[in-house]
Structure 1
Amino acid sequence: MKADEVIKTEVLVIGGGIAGAAAAIASRKAGADVVLVDKAVVARSGQSTFAAGIYAVCFPDRDNLDDWAEEMIDLGEYLNDQAWVDLLWERNNPAAMELDRWGSEYGRQILERDEKGNYIRRKSRGHIKTFHCIMNSIPMMDTLKQKALDLGVRIIERVMVTEFIRNEGRVVGALGLNPQTGKTYLFQARATIAAASGAGFKSAFMGHKNLTGDVLAAACRIGVAVQNMENVCSNTCARRFDIHGLNLFVNVGGKLTNGHGEEFMWSYQPDLGNRGRMQDLTLSFCQEVEMGRGPIFMDLTSASKADQALCRKILPETFATFAAAGIDPFAQKIEWMPAFMGTLNSGGGIRIDLEGATNIPGLFAAGDITPEPPHGTYSFGGVNIAFCHVSGIVAGEKAAAFAKKEGRAWDDRGTRKEIQEGWERTLAPLKRISGADSMEVIFHIQSKIIPKEYGYLRTRTTLEEGLSSIRAIRKDEIPRLHARDPHELMRCLEAQNLAEVGELILTAALHRKESRGWHFRKDYPYTDNKNWLKWVTLTRREEEILINEIPVPTPRKAPPAEITVPPGVRRR
């Protein structure tokens, strides 16, 4: 079949968060023709819009860069790409200052300042010698979108990218679908940047219900290597409300208590307590509840009036939710829980080099669709936005250079077969008269990925059982998915993508026989730096998943011991 519209460009950017927008701007500044395509609306969807006010910015004139790098490596549990750590902090401050300046030029405040005009810097999740700035996420994204448009970036919204197109082993474009109208698109590009985040599995937490691993799964289908997929991320949030803001809450004095009234995080993370990393918090929550000491509460009653006002300003969506429920979180404790985020945040993703390039020529990746290589498992708050911003710029620059020097002209004959097969996969659910309901299938997938025995406190038995179930879903339920309209077709494709990503997660988790980051194995409850200081990479070859182990280089800093205590273990 022929697409309803063919769009030609030099650089195609998929995803409109901070990484995608930064990539599009960087490519355009480098002289490339750029198209940015987003599944929803740029600056009003995805995680960047709900980034909860935290942006780690290093100021070389007052901060010790070695301290920042070493703290990042320590807290990232030595799974960091240490070359990426250096690159991140080398480019971080100029990028952040440029963005803040653009905001001022457009009449928006991105980074908060005090009454003297100095940037407000705080410590929250994980920070010891490091800091983060307070950032307004919606003005940030509005600024990036406006800058991209002013530079001449073409933005195509409400188009779900479903498949990559290759010619002679190179990525040369993609297929897309508007889930409201059913309009189909063929994007032809000399270089492509995947920046569409990962798979959140439609779980609790604000800002990621439409992030279902569409581009991640499509990349894996053409043989792109992924890394750290066992390290599935979780944030924490209110049990009864879909909100965000933990980083800021613990910064203003929020305390986490268990059902016995104990401020328990000091027993798991003596150096940081309530400001522990996300893996410290979520695994500790699970352990406390499993040991009969639940539920968990967030106690914000000690926050000052000034800090209460700051929270209300930076987290308007969260406080609108509290107001609608008739709750004042500064006057009562709120029940709290882990919020599963899958490969989002610092979970696994597409393996990239220092130029944002993947193992497939013509395809680059940036932001949360990667494993965020400088982060390791997860280091400290604000790195996600910092990395997404810098990696977007790097990938944008390198993709533009690739498009100019190595990109190839479109070849109708060489791409015809792959395009036809891509449309057949994309549109198959519409052609079935009846079949499986997509949301029911998604629930089946969630039930084998999110519960604590699969996503938090794992064993060989639970992982093998979960993996067997996901493979059965892929074999028996995915081929029966049925859609009556374009919107239902999108849901069917989301279910397919979540099943494919879920299989990768459980495969990697079963392979890594230690505990590190969010990956906690009850049958291997220690971090084993002697045998497992490695990146686990996966590559699809048809229905086979190839597993590889890559030793982690440690040019800057190595682990202090062969065996260490991982997150989620009481230390006192």
Structure 2
Amino acid sequence: MSFYPQQQEVGGDSHNLHLSTDVLVIGGSLTGCWAALAARRAGASVVLAEKGYVGTAGVVAAATAGGAHTVPGKEEHNHKVLHGRREAAAGLDDLGLARMVYDETYRIGLRLKEMGFEPNPGRPGGNPFGGEPRLTSFNGPYSLHFLRTALLKAGVRILDHSPALELLASDGIVTGAAGVNRQSEESWAVRAGAVILATGGNAFRSGAMGTNGVTGDGHLFGVEAGARLVAVEFSGHYGITPAGSQTTKGFWYGSATFYDGAGRELPENGWGAVPDVARAVMETGAAYATINRGNAEMPRFARRTANLFQFFERAGIDPFKDKFPLGLLYEGHVRGVGGLVVDGEGATDVPGLYAAGDVTDRTHMTGAQMSGAGPAVAWCLASGEWAGAAAAAFAAGPGAAVRQRPAVGLGGLGLRAPGAANGIAQVRELRAAVQAEILPIEKNVFRSLGGMQASLQRLDGLWGQHRHSLLGGSVREVVEARETAALLAGARWIYRAARQRTETRGLHRLQEHPQADPAQRDRILVEGLDEIRVSREPLRAVAEEAVPA
């Protein structure tokens, strides 16, 4: 049995802590913090629930990330920002929407500056590689501590160590969420006029830096409520890492030379080398790199990036002279682009439910290619701004009455088990079985129709086997069971969509169809849990050129 309330109706004494607020934000990394501040500025009361600690949570906390932005009146710079990943986008980006994001990010940067935020604390000169100084460069620990302080000053109530487990709904409108507190080992429920999902993507517990808690929870919550996902086939992204390290910082690999296990130089560098590195590992047993093409600033800058360089110092490797062995760690939707479908205000298909950041679709920013670094941070900030304002408006309107009505919990797999419940050992066995279908490079860097079908047969079998029995007992076990449910659902969505895209485009590489098909320049949507429904829709017509050259 689980300690978590098994009745779906929320009320009475079913949870230990009951709160009411205008806007509930789920997820407390960069996007969640900014969305909460935006909702608060719009006049809403706000509760923010985070499975870790707000200030050290999420991918940004383990990294240094710079957001790209436009600058009014500097169109040459703006053109470079917009077109930096145009070619790699494989025809699926939207320059008009991207321009709106980058324009908003500039305004957010100015607001952060007014708040006292320092884009590059302790580093004079701004952008270390030249070009326009970034207003939105985030040193993880400093930045999130700054945002936590701002949240508390603004009156946002923070629930640390409080993973959400399910959304609450009334008459088809999302009106809150419920979860547990890891420290008190009690359950909580928050009734809200609107909910914002800012839970990040899904790296399937691969071990990549900062991704351990990024398990696709928001995707599961959204689909359980009736939302749709799009572009989840563009998820075959692996971070290049020194073998044995969790660090997938990628900026410096553009200055690298890559080699296979026999010492032959590989044709690509940067993140474009992922397929070559994977092929080298599969065919020659190893791959190597030397960072030998950078300018004089590169070694100094890299050594100031602690989470990057500590590994080499401990291993006694000089990466600017020595060949070091490489590994590949799956980053999936953290740097991939697929996610929940949202409109220009961050609204999902479900009334009362909003989403922002990596949990949402980002193809408009970088098309079929990875969204990391500048475009990703820009989207996190801009989408958080828009979702916060829109959720506050909904909470003041339709959401105000709905949150007073009786609500039901929407959580299923991993949370409520009408049959005999599994133990935690079975939960972990299931997680390993899901990872075995997603993490191996031979399955997910180079996909095949037969391989994906075989994986789907195993994954669908696991879903059917555990559909009515996956359940944790203690607080920790319930959280693990729910995360595992999100991994299983996410794997089934990825391969369902990927089998429909019979071409190679961006992060979807299909062995039987190694070229892009112009007829498939469209969007693949998935929805549903037990029965997954797949549909296609054409891209909306957009202007090819959004700014003057």
Q: Which moved more, 1:58-67 or 1:395-404?
A: 58-67
Q: Which residue of 2 aligns with 1:568?
A: none
Alignment partners' CA distance in 1, 2:370 and 2:218:
26
- Secondary structure in structure 2 of the residue aligned to 1:26: helix
- Secondary structure in structure 1 of the residue aligned to 2:53: coil
Cα distance change on mapping 1:111 and 1:159 into 2, 3 Å:
same
Q: Which residue of 2 aligns with 1:202?
A: 205
Per the normalisation by structure 2, the TM-score is: 0.89
Q: Which residue of 1 aligns with 2:110?
A: 97
CA contact (8 A) 1:349 1:371 kept: yes
Per the normalisation by structure 1, the TM-score is: 0.85
Q: Which residue of 1 aligns with 2:180?
A: 177
CA contact (8 A) 1:438 1:492 kept: yes
Q: Which residue of 2 aligns with 1:490?
A: 479
Q: Which residue of 2 aligns with 1:296?
A: 287
CA contact (8 A) 2:260 2:284 kept: yes
Q: Which residue of 1 aligns with 2:521?
A: 533
**1:382 and 2:385 aligned:** no
Q: Which residue of 2 aligns with 1:55?
A: 67
Displacement of 1:510: 0.7
Cα deviation, 1:365-412, whole Å, max 9, x if unaligned, reads 100001223221236742111111111111111111121123232556
Cα distance change on mapping 1:423 and 1:412 into 2, 3 Å:
farther
Cα distance change on mapping 1:265 and 1:183 into 2, 3 Å:
farther
**1:8 and 2:20 aligned:** yes
Structure 2 letter corresponding to 1:445: V
CA contact (8 A) 1:163 1:215 kept: no
Cα distance change on mapping 1:423 and 1:114 into 2, 3 Å:
closer
Q: Which residue of 1 aligns with 2:323?
A: 333
2:312 to 322, 328, 338: 322
Alignment partners' CA distance in 2, 1:452 and 1:178:
36
Cα distance change on mapping 1:384 and 1:378 into 2, 3 Å:
same
1:418-497 superposed matches below 5 A: 418-419=408-409, 422=411, 426=415, 428=417, 432=421, 434=423, 436-477=425-466, 479-481=468-470, 483-497=472-486
Q: Which residue of 2 aligns with 1:236?
A: 240
Displacement of 1:432: 3.5
2:223 to 200, 220, 223: 220
- Secondary structure in structure 2 of the residue aligned to 1:493: helix
CA contact (8 A) 1:179 1:489 kept: no
CA contact (8 A) 2:232 2:494 kept: yes
Displacement of 1:554: 4.1
Cα distance change on mapping 1:205 and 1:287 into 2, 3 Å:
same
Displacement of 1:304: 6.3
Q: Which moved more, 1:392-401 or 1:236-245?
A: 236-245
**1:111 and 2:91 aligned:** no
Q: Which residue of 2 aligns with 1:344?
A: 334
Structure 2 letter corresponding to 1:517: G
- Secondary structure in structure 1 of the residue aligned to 2:381: helix
Cα distance change on mapping 1:495 and 1:10 into 2, 3 Å:
same
Q: Which residue of 2 aligns with 1:566?
A: none
1:551 to 530, 535, 538: 538
**1:363 and 2:353 aligned:** yes
Structure 1 letter corresponding to 2:202: A
Displacement of 1:456: 1.4
- Secondary structure in structure 2 of the residue aligned to 1:86: helix
Q: Which residue of 2 aligns with 1:264?
A: 266
Alignment partners' CA distance in 2, 1:50 and 1:430:
40
CA contact (8 A) 1:122 1:131 kept: no
Cα deviation, 1:488-520, whole Å, max 9, x if unaligned, reads 221111111110111101100111111111100
Cα deviation, 1:180-229, whole Å, max 9, x if unaligned, reads 44311111010111010121111131000111111211111121110001
Q: Which residue of 1 aligns with 2:505?
A: 516
Structure 1 letter corresponding to 2:455: G
Alignment partners' CA distance in 2, 1:503 and 1:42:
31
CA contact (8 A) 2:50 2:160 kept: yes
Alignment partners' CA distance in 2, 1:424 and 1:368:
23
Unaligned runs of 5+ residues in structure 1 are: 124-128, 267-273, 559-572
Structure 1 letter corresponding to 2:476: H
**1:282 and 2:267 aligned:** no
**1:309 and 2:318 aligned:** no
- Secondary structure in structure 2 of the residue aligned to 1:503: helix
Q: Which residue of 1 aligns with 2:10?
A: none
CA contact (8 A) 1:437 1:482 kept: no
Cα distance change on mapping 1:430 and 1:206 into 2, 3 Å:
farther
Displacement of 1:5: 0.6
Alignment partners' CA distance in 2, 1:318 and 1:66:
30
1:114-133 superposed matches below 5 A: 117=125, 119-122=127-130
- Secondary structure in structure 2 of the residue aligned to 1:39: coil
Structure 2 letter corresponding to 1:111: N
CA contact (8 A) 1:350 1:371 kept: yes
Displacement of 1:476: 1.6
CA contact (8 A) 1:458 1:521 kept: yes
